[in-house]
Structure 1
Amino acid sequence: MPRKILKRLMPEHGSIRDHKYLRMFGSRLHDSNLWHLNRHSAAGAFAVGLFCAWLPIPFQMVVAAAGAMLFRVNLPLSAVLVWFTNPLTMPPMFYFAYRLGSFLLNRPHHYEHFEVSLSWLAGAMSTVGPPFLLGSLVLGLVSSAIGYMFIHGLWRWSVSRQWKRRRQGR
């Protein structure tokens, strides 16, 4: 069951291989392990994709693809899971990361007047940056571990349920 759902949601092999930012990986994209979908590759892809979704950097999909190649997990699924971070979800996610980092560092929250300029960003990064980056790292690690365990457990449960149905003759 999870395999059918995931296969339906994943982009095509060719669209990932021909993506303009992923072409730099060249022939490494032809590794068959990156395209298989099984319990281990799906759970690993969830771990890589969810971790990369919390990275406050541009081109998260490229980092997710590199992580998928490094750990030899399903590349399309890793790349798609990065889309969890989008313009609608980013502000609450990153605010929560900042609040968590402030809590872990035992720092007060700094609510400064927001301004769209490089000088404001440079000044704010000295006060807001460390808690934000720590919170992002912690949330990335936690969501990665939870995603891995959840998909691994869901896959096992689904397979055992199918075997039970076969034994009962349904």
Structure 2
Amino acid sequence: MAPVKQQQDRRESSLPDAWFSLRLSSTPRGARLARTLAVQQLAEWCGGAYDTDAVRAVALVTAELASNAITHGRLPGRDFRMTLRLLAGSVRIEVTDTRPERLPPTAPAAPRCMEADAGRGLLLVEAYADRWGCSAPDAWTKTVWAEVLLS
């Protein structure tokens, strides 16, 4: 499945309206690919810089959101969608899956057991993203999004 890319200049603003979106398989491989492609796209938008705090934060947030989509939002045979949007001073990561009835908690809680292997994903998203949230635009999907500052 080929990624969808678009870059278009808006006449009313000096900021290009840039976005990148693609569908990926709801598998660990799909989640890894989402992280890799998010880093590559952001580096392209930012002039090829891979070793910045913003790129590392986008990599971590994308990995967590994609991992949650394949773990908690997966239905057999259904993919998830990752979308990046370049905004004024930030990048927005959106991950859409097929389980709108499984919304994330509004405030992530600490894991019950400190030795647990899971349960810290949304805490990391909250720590690295400027803001994050979730929406269920229809009866078939939900989108979890996060915005990371590019400063």
- Greater strand fraction, Structure 1 or Structure 2: 2
TM norm structure 1: 0.26
Structure with higher Rg: it is 1
- Greater helix fraction, Structure 1 or Structure 2: 1
